[in-house]
Amino acid sequence: MAAIVATPTVLWRQVLGLTAVQGAITLAWVIYRLYLPDLLAQFGWSP
């Protein structure tokens, strides 16, 4: 009886898509954290 060995396949489009989404979320948080003190000062609150 011969064993069937399945070769693992990586779905690179999905991996790159998830990487792009994670990068966009991280970049949005970085920009938000950099802009937050200015935004709070604009409303008259202390940063």
Q: Is 70 exceeded by the pLDDT of residue 1?
A: no
Give the domain range for residue 47.
17-47
11: amino acid identity, one letter: L
Tell me which residue of 47, 28, 29 sits closest to 39, measured CA to CA. 47
Alpha helix (H) ranges present in 1-47?
Answer: 12-42
pLDDT at 47: 64
Q: Is 80 exceeded by the pLDDT of residue 5?
A: no
Say how many domains are in the chain: 1
Element spanning 45, H or E: none
Q: Is residue 22 part of a domain?
A: yes
pLDDT at 4: 77
Q: Is residue 47 part of a domain?
A: yes
Per-residue pLDDT tens over the stretch 13-35: 999 999 999 999 999 999 999 99
> Is pTM, for the whole model, over 0.85?
no
**Those residues with Cβ within 8 angstroms of residue 38's Cβ, 6 or more apart along the chain or in another chain:** 47
Share of the chain above pLDDT 70, in %: 94
C-beta separation of 35 from 41 below 8 A: no
